[in-house]
A and B are shown apart, each in its own frame.
Chain A
């Protein structure tokens, strides 16, 4: 058992990075992530965390710095939000292609323009195709625990991970969090094994030019082409479901908390209707489910914790056969629908019993979402009225 502290998700993420004994940190401050960078800088300054803190002029450089440090074998951490994450876009692809086990806290914020500093999940959802694993947290405890779990997963499979939690709703709200003891974390997360292939004495090319077809390198070894490397990334990110599962199981043995690996459920045992969502919004859906249950509607919640790799099997097992499914998400693929609903509908295409489906875009740019709104929208689908639209857009 650790000690209970009343802290924000930002502090929880910073403490988790410290408990994981990160060796190199580089981050550029942006609301609502800023306290993560400040608290880690303070730890390095006062000597409680022995790490290099690289100050940079941009998010692109922040991620480039930790990619480089990770490539030579350091355990690294960074954090960002919104337009900062988008400024990293090129390096996100570069990090995944370089197969470096970076863990990054992504504090979800709406994307400008127009400027907003408040929460939605457009920033990280729009980066889903970069080859990173994405974890969406319900609360600050999950943010702390997920950073610790993420290092274990990332370092075993050499794929970077975003730990996403909602700006202000979690990042600036203080709640009780069980902060684990250092020796417990050390028992869960061994020191990083250097798999860089760089010895510090021999000059090496990292990420040299790769042609389309396999060909022998100058030393005569047959090197794969670009497609083979990228296919390997795809295979490994699909297989990572198992590592994520086993990390959560091992974690629960030591710390007594399990977060349900890729997908978690609430009151789904006898449910006929599901609400599906991610992050703190999914947590709020549980209140709406309680409300619907009180009204005699057999509703439950399926929370997507890991959005990439997409938990196709778990989604189908949880949803196929239900009467209705209603998606709520704080992102949109402009010109179509919410990304989570699109992915889940595609996953259910082969199912024999496909439920009626509605999908709602809610809470963009910090627009408040109340449980009764979620319950009312769900009731429409329960009554047979399917919709794919935005909730609570006001006429002026």
Chain B
């Protein structure tokens, strides 16, 4: 094979941000109303359903906006309607 700087196959160690800073993809951002989301008997369904694992499992909830794609699943699943999707612009 000729000398080539391009590797022949893709292989990587699993790591945060492997698919890039996917927060760039977002057109809407989840906004949490921490009064509605009660720490005491909270369900963490948002944490469970988040396909990107960017919601904390500790309170108050935090969303890592570097990687949140803004899919809105957390807002859809929240039984307390504590999460709103708001336009970024």
Binding site for B on A (CB under 8 A): 98-99, 156-158, 196-198, 202-211, 215, 217-219, 223-224, 228-229, 231-233, 235-236, 239
Contact = CB atoms under 8 A, between A and B. Distances in A.
Contact of A198 (B2, B11, B14, B20): B11
Given A156-B1, A235-B2, A211 B11 contact: no
A158 B7 CA distance: 12
Given A208-B18, A209-B19, A211-B20, A236 B13 contact: no
B8 A158 contact: yes
B7 A157 contact: no
A98 B7 CA distance: 11
Contacts of B13: 202-205, 218-219
Given A232-B4, A235-B2, A210 B18 contact: no
Interface of B: 1-2, 4, 6-20
B2 to A, nearest CB: 6
The DSSP consensus for interface residues of chain B is loop
A229 B6 contact: yes
A198 B12 CA distance: 10
Most buried by B among A157, A208, A229: A208
A99 B6 contact: no
B62 to A, nearest CB: 21
Contact of A207 (B2, B10, B15): B10
Contacts of B14: 203-205
B2 A208 contact: no
A211 B19 contact: yes
B44 to A, nearest CB: 26
B12 A217 contact: yes
22 contacts: A158-B8, A202-B13, A205-B11, A205-B13, A205-B14, A206-B10, A208-B12, A208-B18, A208-B19, A210-B10, A217-B15, A218-B12, A218-B18, A223-B12, A229-B6, A229-B9, A231-B6, A232-B6, A235-B2, A236-B1, A236-B8, A239-B1
Contacts of A228: 6
The list of the 8 closest CB pairs from A to B, nearest first, reads A218-B15, A232-B6, A99-B9, A99-B8, A209-B19, A197-B11, A205-B12, A228-B6
Given A203-B14, A208-B18, A239 B2 contact: yes
A232 B11 contact: no
A217 B1 CA distance: 25
Contacts of B17: 218
Contact of A206 (B4, B7, B11): B11
Most buried by A among B11, B18, B19: B11
B70 to A, nearest CB: 18
B10 A218 contact: no
A35 B2 CA distance: 39
A229 B10 CA distance: 8
A156 to B, nearest CB: 7
B67 to A, nearest CB: 12
B2 A98 contact: no
